[in-house]
């Protein structure tokens, strides 16, 4: 995090703003975890009035790092001229199905989490629609429940399709959703159910089976 030389005025303003802010209503469905989340627009509706009353403006700018990852810089500027800023980043997979759409979705996702962190708003689920199959997963070896949940959220459409297909014994529906995500994403999802993994033991066995791969190959040949 970077700040102006002094932050006395903006620190006082943030105390006022955070006293006015309440966690936004979670109005958007997350079908995988059967819960709800507040999207970026809802977070902005909550944060803007409180920041305005405290004399704070929020500026969020996207950019691209040297390694190709998407970076969002969030800067809070106080009417006194004092400021605080920080960056958050995540990579887009090289084999993203729609890189432009993935970048747009990822920018929205990073903006929401960064602004929520500055405003001290609790976040449980993400609005990563359009990111499945497109996000380059970082630090997959780290055993972190919150990080794993975030990965599952980002890939929830694919996970839902996989589970629904397996439960219906329709591998031709489930297999494409599994084999069309990246290897990094497969590794990130491959957590034992005893450790909170999104797939049951039976479902993991199906994913490894030759029958499941054959269903994917057969669908490709039929197309």
- The full set of domains in the chain, from first to last, is 1-136 (3.30.390), 142-223 (no CATH)
| Closest C-alpha to 83, from 7, 15, 17 | 7
The CA radius of gyration of the chain, in Å to the nearest whole number, is: 20
What pTM value is reported for the model?
0.54
CA 141/CA 143 separation, integer angstroms: 6
pLDDT tens-digit series, residues 200-215? 999 999 999 999 989 8
Confidence of residue 30 (pLDDT cuts 50, 70, 90): very low
- The yes-or-no verdict on residue 95 having pLDDT over 50 is yes
């Amino acid at each position: 995090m970077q700040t102006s030389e002094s932050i006395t005025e903006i620190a006082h303003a943030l105390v006022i703003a955070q006293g006015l802010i309440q966690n936004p209503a979670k109005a958007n469905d997350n079908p995988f975890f059967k819960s709800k989340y507040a999207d970026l627009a809802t977070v902005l509706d909550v944060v803007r009035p409180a920041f305005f009353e405290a004399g704070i403006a929020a500026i969020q700018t996207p950019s691209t790092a040297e390694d190709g990852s998407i970076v969002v810089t969030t800067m809070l500027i106080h009417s006194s001229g004092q400021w605080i800023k920080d960056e958050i980043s995540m990579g887009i997979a090289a084999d993203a199905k729609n890189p432009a759409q993935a970048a747009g979705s990822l920018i929205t996702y990073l903006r929401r989490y960064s602004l929520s962190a500055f405003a001290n708003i609790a976040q449980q689920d993400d609005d990563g629609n359009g990111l499945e199959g497109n996000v380059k997963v970082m630090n997959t070896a780290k055993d972190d429940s919150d990080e794993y949940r975030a990965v599952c959220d980002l890939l929830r459409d694919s996970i839902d399709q996989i589970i629904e297909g397996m439960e219906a014994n329709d591998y031709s529906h489930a297999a494409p959703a599994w084999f069309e995500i990246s290897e990094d994403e497969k590794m990130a999802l491959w957590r034992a159910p005893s450790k909170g993994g999104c797939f049951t033991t039976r479902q993991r066995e199906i994913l490894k089976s030759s029958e499941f791969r054959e269903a994917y190959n057969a669908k490709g040949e039929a197309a």
